[in-house]
Amino acid sequence: MANIENYDFGGKRAIVRVDFNVPLDENGNITDDTRIRGALPTLKKILADGGSLILMSHMGKPKGKVNEKLSLGQIREAVATALGTDVKFVPDCMKAAEAAKELKPGEVLLLENLRFYPEEEGKPVGIDKKDPGYEEAAKEMKERQKEFAKTLASYADVYVNDAFGTAHRKHASTAVVADYFDKQDKMLGFLMEKEVKAVDAILKDIRRPFTAIMGGSKVSTKIGIIENLMDKVDNLILCGGMTYTFAKAMGGNIGTSICEDDKLDLALDIMKKAKEKGVNLVLGTDCVAADSFSNEAKTQVCSVIDIPEGWMGLDAGPESIEAFRSVILPAKTILWNGPAGVFEFENFTAGSRAIAEAIVEATDKGAFSLVGGGDSVACVNKFGLADSVSYVSTGGGALLEAIEGKTLPGIAAIGE
């Protein structure tokens, strides 16, 4: 693969897969432009070199059909403002050959939502996986996906993938398109490079002690990561809703707390594996229990294995917070995914806030800290601490798959 830093884009047309899947309000106004800002270093480098830009992205889930509510035309002005230059727009990503050809150095063209075509995702539409003709339809769609990718590739001289959020998908624009460029004309963008480096710091260049904090609602959705981390971490904090599956598995009374009853054996297995591998597994011991799932609920602090009937654990208690802090503060590598409580309710943010603050303290003392995956990013943003950790990942599913140790198709497609 080529390297974006050294590549000279002068006089070249670059097609860049960005993640402009930004949230919009009901009037089509952008409510958070983080993703557009994230792509700017790559886009500005290409324009500064004297290249021209063809920007492609998806927005939402139009499922292979045109849906004006998900048109990228709505964000054209915001992209123009961010880049400080006019942005042309083509309302059909398969009919952009002419506009691409006319691009002069320094000019920018934005393509319409790629997912208005089913070929982008490459899954056959209108047929169920169990239907008899499915395999045939899937095969045909793969061929159509190649043609779709080939058309996108025909617009440009060079391909850059800077969309980490979709790197775990083998879509036309994230992976297949790369097949139509020579090795020296395809590369990762700056944002992608940063994400890959951050994941490497967690999986390969680990400085010890390494503390991972996994929270959120369920153990089942995090099991792949927990298992992969078990071979790498020194301390593993499991918090949030999954606490109560563990508490119940240990024979505790958990009241009406969230629990995956079919994962009790899994919880015991995780505890056993941690012991075998010498991982210090830190589970919450006390919690802030509430008498209803509400911010205004009555609360009491109790042991996670002795929650009164009709009460539910919604946040980590003070003793748990101390235990979490004691393994976060001395850490030199930290990964955080998933809140320690129902942080959406102001009265149940203490556990997540304490984790965020401990991570910031450790980072100040030289630790590398990566926060990623949806809700923990929302947490650090809510607490105003996003700039005080080493890295906040833009990728939800992509980050989690990377940490599970899976090869991301979007990165593999670019090649070595």
Catalytic amino acids?
A: 35, 218, 374, 397
Closest residue to ligand AMP: CB criterion: 216
| Residue 380 in contact with ligand AMP, rule: CB under 6 A | no
Give the pairing type, strands 299-303 and 286-290.
antiparallel
Question: What are the residues facing 188 on neighbouring strands?
Answer: 161
CB of 250 to ligand AMP, least distance (A): 17
Q: Which is nearer to ligand AMP, 12 or 218 (CB)?
A: 218
What CA dihedral angle connects 286, 291, 294 and 300, to 10 degrees? -40
Q: Which is nearer to ligand AMP, 63 or 298 (CB)?
A: 298
d(Cα 269, Cα 251) in Å, to the nearest integer? 15
Q: How far is the CB of 56 from ligand AMP (least distance, A)?
A: 29
Instruction: State the binding string over 309-328 for ligand AMP (x if CB under 6 A, else -).
Output: ----xx--------------
What does the alpha-carbon distance between residue 114 and residue 53 come to, in Å, rounded to a whole number?
16
What are the Cα distances from residue 1, in Å, to 7, 158, 205, 416?
A: 11, 11, 22, 5
**Burial 18-48, CB ≥16 within 10 A → b, else e:** bbbbbebeeeeebeebebbebbbebbbbbbe
Angle, nearest 10°, between helix axes 223-230 and 264-277?
A: 10
Which of 85, 217, 280, 388 forms a contact with ligand AMP (CB under 6 A)? 217
Residue 133, judged by CB atoms within 10 A of its CB (0-12, 13-18, 19+), counts as exposed
* Residue 3 DSSP class: -
Residue closer to ligand AMP, measured from CB, 124 or 284: 284
* Contacting residues for 200 by C-beta, under 8 A, at least 6 apart: none
Length of the chain: 416
Regarding 395 and contact with ligand AMP (CB under 6 A), the answer is no
Residues 358-377 that bind ligand AMP (CB under 6 A): 374-375
Report if residue 338 touches ligand AMP, rule: CB under 6 A.
yes
What would the x/- binding string for ligand AMP be over residues 13 to 52, using CB under 6 A? ----------------------------------------
Does 344 bind ligand AMP (CB under 6 A)? Our answer is yes
Judged by CB under 6 A, how many residues of this single chain contact ligand AMP?
16
- The contact pattern for ligand AMP, residues 228-267, with x = CB under 6 A and - = no contact, is ------------xx----------------x---------
CB of 196 to ligand AMP, least distance (A): 23
What residues line the site for ligand AMP (CB under 6 A)?
216-218, 221, 240-241, 258, 313-314, 338-339, 341-342, 344, 374-375
